[in-house]
């Protein structure tokens, strides 16, 4: 309790404050001690009220200045002296130093009771006050716990806390996103307060205990707030109370503390439920992929909650962090830890938290595609079951959207992910085949050392067959096919070769070719005519077209193999 409260509650109410009076309203008394040695300051601790008869100082009163300074440095509450017992004269310099430090010095000579009586009564008052705090804390904790058991949720706890404190309350998660708030913060005059508070917190390193904040960016009366970090087995977020009686003390601070503890328990329960649900989902899809689900009926029964229904078309997309990102410390890069078990546990916990962060980032980005999907994890990859019925299922458009998504994840989060797409399916038991096709498509791109790519499974993969041929044969065939266009080194020849490739990729359609190159149709016609003259062959001739398509497929293989040799 505060010093002035203790003085008013005991026989010390007759005492006189000789110096440092302003400290009586701010210094908190946690315990009481009696001086019995010249070096008593060494044995004192924060919050101590020291009682003394001045005997050890009577022959050297100037030493009182060092005692005052030492007690102030330790955060002691005050010094109470019976000066008349041994005719101790307090030097004016000591009183001036106490006033400067705001350190209270009390005169007890007018109190007839002994120091022992004062000590016992003061300790009794402090213990009674502590008991009241404990009973209040238990009552408040039980009130919040009962609300949690009734299912009132975070909003109910926040509203009740706001009623106790008579001020708005805001709950943010560890990423500074709003979990709950009182209605007052939704009013037009204060609607910007939660965002401003979150922005202010995101730029500071907060301690692990309650802290009083002043947020200059908030223009309203809610500029000052009491912030209580919420911890369980990990950092969960922040509980803020925008109290007018700032900073919070006594019962109000206890209420904030107990609310934070109960909210931590509620968040732990939610995490456990979510983790169990996610594990059940991962196990189901793993069983389906590995063939442990025997019948279509069983697959539909277990998968109904994930959107599986008879004759509903879907496809599998797999996402995996690129290898170089793993080696630099990505979510999937830590396979094994060495050293003491505690260090290994810390590494495992960090990897798990990082993988969980990747999961939520991918889920958030897929949600922006406006397509119904279910996400799960398997080994070092994430699987996404994409349902037909909403969004664009055109393969080219889907690939472009996924490529943009991979690029945005890299730009925004510095996470490098590549994706593979399997074939569409209708029967649930075919999900495993689509997943394995998506993995093969992903592995094909990985084999070519590509990064942040989107690869679609092709049952006829010419690249896989071409990689079986000797590099020299591939290079000889490619150079013979385009010898009239290679080695000249001018921009026109490069544009002709690029246009010829786009022409075959767009199935010899002039309009689609022009669109893919962002040039006019006449430019495409000009370049193709020039190519026919240089190559000496009709581009639409079936045999010639087939040869050129094969040569362009060889170009991809040659580039990837050249990259491998350089690295």
Q: What is the dihedral of CA 318, 320, 322, 327, to 10 degrees?
A: -160
Secondary structure string (H, E, C) spanning 70-111 = HHHHHCCCEEEECHHHCCCCCCHHHHHHHHHHCCCEEECCCC
Please give the order of strands across the beta sheet that includes 105-107.
Answer: 16-19, 105-107, 78-81, 48-52, 31-34
Q: What is the dihedral of CA 6, 9, 13, 18, to 10 degrees?
A: 10
The answer to whether 239 and 267 are in contact (CB under 8 A) is no
For position 191, what pLDDT does the model report? 87
Cα dihedral sign for 363, 279, 333, 231? positive
Average pLDDT score over residue span 419-433: 87
Dist CA 507 CA 223 (whole Å) = 64
Average pLDDT score over residue span 63-79: 91
Tokens coding 158: 């926040």
CA-based end-to-end distance of the chain: 70
Distances (CA, A) of 148 to 97, 229, 442: 52, 19, 46
The reported pTM is 0.54
For position 460, what pLDDT does the model report? 52
**Could you tell me where the beta strands, DSSP code E, fall in 281-427?**
314-321, 373-378, 381-387, 417-421
Backbone conformation region of residue 14, classed left if phi is above 0, alpha if psi is from -120 to 50, else beta: alpha
- pLDDT at residue 416 tops 90: yes
For position 246, what pLDDT does the model report? 66
Query: Pairing mode, if any, of strands 224-231 and 105-107?
Result: unpaired
Neighbours of 33 (CB within 10 A): 16
Average pLDDT score over residue span 146-169: 86
Cis peptide before 439 (omega within 30 of 0): no
**Share above pLDDT 70 across residues of the chain, in percent, rounded to a whole number:** 89
3-state class percentages of the chain: helix first, strand second, coil last, to nearest 5: 55, 15, 30
Dist CA 184 CA 193 (whole Å) = 10
For position 338, what pLDDT does the model report? 44
Lowest mean pLDDT among 220-224, 240-244, 449-453, 463-467: 463-467
* 126-135, long-range: CB < 8 A, 24+ apart: 126/1, 126/6, 126/29, 126/30, 126/31, 126/32, 129/1, 133/250, 133/251, 133/254
Dist CA 76 CA 44 (whole Å) = 8
Q: Where are the alpha helices (DSSP H) in 10-48?
A: none
Condensed to tens digits (0 to 9), the pLDDT of residues 297-354 reads 898 899 889 988 887 888 899 999 987 654 444 554 444 444 455 555 566 667 777 8
Residue with tokens 């390193």: 205
**Share above pLDDT 90 across residues of the chain, in percent, rounded to a whole number:** 22
For position 206, what pLDDT does the model report? 63
Average pLDDT score over residue span 215-239: 82
For position 489, what pLDDT does the model report? 63
Please give the order of strands across the beta sheet that includes 381-387.
Answer: 373-378, 381-387, 314-321, 417-421, 454-456
Domains with residue ranges and CATH for the chain:
3-127 (3.40.1390.20), 151-271 (3.30.450.40), 293-459 (3.30.70.270), 468-566 (1.10.10.2840)
Q: Which range has the top average pLDDT, 147-156, 313-322, 425-434, 438-447?
A: 313-322
Dist CA 518 CA 437 (whole Å) = 33
Tokens coding 315: 């496809």
What average pLDDT does the chain have?
Answer: 83
Distances (CA, A) of 352 to 335, 356, 364: 12, 6, 18
Condensed to tens digits (0 to 9), the pLDDT of residues 256-305 reads 888 888 888 888 888 888 889 999 999 999 999 988 988 888 988 998 89
96: Cβ contacts below 8 Å, ≥ 6 apart:
19
Q: Where are the alpha helices (DSSP H) in 295-394?
A: 296-303, 323-327, 341-367
């Amino acid at each position: 309790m505060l010093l002035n409260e203790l003085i008013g509650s005991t026989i010390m109410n007759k005492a006189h404050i000789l110096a440092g009076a302003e400290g009586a309203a701010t210094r908190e008394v946690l315990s009481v001690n009696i001086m019995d040695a010249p070096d008593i300051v060494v044995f004192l601790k924060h919050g101590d009220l020291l009682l003394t008869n001045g005997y050890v100082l009577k022959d050297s009163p100037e030493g009182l200045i060092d005692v005052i300074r030492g007690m102030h440095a330790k955060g002691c509450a005050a010094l109470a002296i019976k000066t008349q017992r041994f005719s101790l004269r307090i030097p004016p310099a000591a009183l001036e130093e106490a006033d400067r430090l705001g350190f209270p010095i009390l005169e007890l000579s007018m109190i007839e009771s002994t120091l022992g009586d004062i000590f016992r009564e003061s300790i009794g008052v402090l213990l009674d006050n502590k008991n009241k705090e404990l009973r209040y804390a238990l009552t408040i904790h039980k009130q919040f716990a009962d609300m949690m058991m009734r299912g009132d949720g975070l909003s109910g706890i926040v509203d009740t806390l706001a009623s106790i404190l008579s001020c708005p309350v805001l709950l943010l998660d560890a990423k500074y996103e709003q979990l709950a708030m009182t209605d007052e913060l939704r009013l037009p005059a204060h609607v910007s307060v939660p965002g401003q508070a979150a922005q202010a917190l995101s730029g500071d390193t907060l301690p692990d205990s309650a802290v009083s904040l002043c947020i200059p960016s908030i223009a309203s009366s809610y500029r000052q707030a009491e912030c209580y970090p919420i911890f369980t087995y990990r950092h969960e977020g922040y509980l803020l109370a925008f109290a007018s009686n700032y900073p919070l003390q006594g019962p109000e601070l206890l209420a904030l503390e107990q609310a934070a503890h109960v909210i931590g328990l509620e968040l732990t329960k939610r995490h456990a439920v979510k983790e169990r649900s996610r594990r059940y989902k991962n196990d189901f899809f793993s069983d389906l992929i590995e063939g442990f689900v025997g019948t279509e009926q069983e697959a539909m029964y277990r998968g109904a909650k994930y959107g599986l229904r008879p004759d509903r078309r879907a496809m599998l997309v797999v996402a995996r962090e690129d290898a170089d990102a793993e080696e630099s410390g990505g979510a999937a890069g830590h396979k094994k830890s060495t050293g003491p078990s505690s260090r290994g546990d810390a590494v495992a916990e960090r990897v798990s938290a990082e993988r969980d962060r990747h999961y939520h980032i991918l889920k958030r980005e897929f949600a922006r595609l406006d397509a119904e999907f279910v996400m799960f994890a398997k080994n070092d990859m994430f699987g996404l079951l994409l349902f037909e019925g909403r969004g664009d299922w055109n393969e080219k458009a889907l690939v472009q959207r996924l490529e943009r998504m991979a690029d945005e994840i890299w730009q925004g989060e510095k996470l490098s992910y590549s994706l593979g797409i399997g074939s569409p399916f209708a029967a649930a038991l075919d999900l495993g085949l689509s997943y394995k096709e998506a993995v093969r498509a992903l592995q094909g791109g990985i084999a070519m050392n590509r990064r942040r790519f989107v690869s679609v499974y092709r049952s006829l993969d010419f690249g896989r067959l071409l990689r079986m041929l000797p590099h020299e044969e591939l290079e000889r065939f490619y150079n013979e096919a385009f010898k009239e266009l290679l080695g000249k080194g001018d921009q026109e020849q490069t544009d002709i070769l690029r246009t010829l490739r786009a022409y075959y990729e767009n199935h010899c359609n002039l309009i689609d070719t022009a669109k893919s190159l962002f040039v006019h149709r006449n430019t495409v016609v000009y370049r193709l005519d020039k190519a026919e003259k240089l190559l000496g062959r009709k581009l639409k001739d079936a045999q010639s077209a087939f040869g050129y398509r094969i040569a362009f497929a060889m170009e991809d293989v040659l580039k990837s193999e050249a990259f491998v040799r350089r690295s």
